[in-house]
Structure 1
Amino acid sequence: MNKGSGFGLGLGKMKELAEAFKKAQQVQQGAQQLQLELEQMEIEGKSEDGLVTVVLSGNQEPRGVTIAPEALDKGAEALSQLTIAAMKDAYDKSTETMRSRMEELTSGLNLPGM
């Protein structure tokens, strides 16, 4: 019979486990704060010529579209393409914002897949 073997976790492992739980709580709190910040952000994307502007929240929720009068003169097909370009620009910017903010939040945690 092994004396004092318990679950095979020494005090060092228990400290590591407690530290991991503490970090997980910090990340969870940070993620909740980040979610609130992203909801308040307004990220603007534009078509290359600047005739169409799309605004998304940091969570990629649509907030608005502005179309310059000159864009209407280009016709429906061109206006569609300008709108898609502005949407893609806003989407790319919001994705980059979320990615960089999550990296800040999880830096130094050595989380797999992050």
Structure 2
Amino acid sequence: MPNPFGKMKDLANAFQQAQKVQQGAQELQLELEQLEIEGTSGGGLVTVVMSGNQEPRRVEISSDALSQGAEALSAMVTEAMQEAYTKSTDNMRDRMEELTSGLNLPGL
């Protein structure tokens, strides 16, 4: 006769693991809010800084970038933003993978 409590134990373990992931995700969110990730372009003429959760923080534009004209400046800002965004999302994905690695939770 199968033990009906075996599945209950598995379910309890799954809930425990889910709670650990939730707590880790909350801690990770706080860390990401404090993190600053840079994207640059134009050989460093333009720098965009975002938080780890893609919140824009600041844009730094050198006077040399200004002298290149509006179209070139716009392209440099866009490129720096894309780099910062990519770095930020890659970082977030890697951190979430670390958080959930080794857990046998369905869907993660």
- Provide TM-score, normalisation by structure 1: 0.88
Query: Alpha-carbon deviations, 1:32-69, whole Å to 9, x = none?
Result: 00010000000011015211000000110010100011
Q: Who is 2:15 aligned against?
A: 21
Query: Between the two proteins, what is the percent identity of the paired residues?
Result: 68
Q: Who is 1:70 aligned against?
A: 64
Distance, in Å, in 2 between the alignment partners of 1:72 and 1:10 is 72
Distance, in Å, in 2 between the alignment partners of 1:9 and 1:59 is 45
1:102 aligns with 2:96: yes
Matched pairs, number: 108
Q: Who is 1:56 aligned against?
A: 50
- Provide TM-score, normalisation by structure 2: 0.93
Dislocated runs of 4+, deviation >2 Å:
110-114
* 3-state DSSP of counterpart to 1:55: strand
Unmatched segments (≥5 aa) in structure 1 = none
- Where relative contact order (Cα < 8 A, 6+ residues apart) is larger, the structure is 2
Distance, in Å, in 1 between the alignment partners of 2:24 and 2:16 is 12
Q: Per residue, is there more helix in 1 or in 2? A: 2
Amino acid in the other structure paired with 1:34? L
Unmatched segments (≥5 aa) in structure 2 = none
| CA positional deviation for 1:110 | 3.3
**Aligned-residue CA RMSD in angstroms?**
1.7
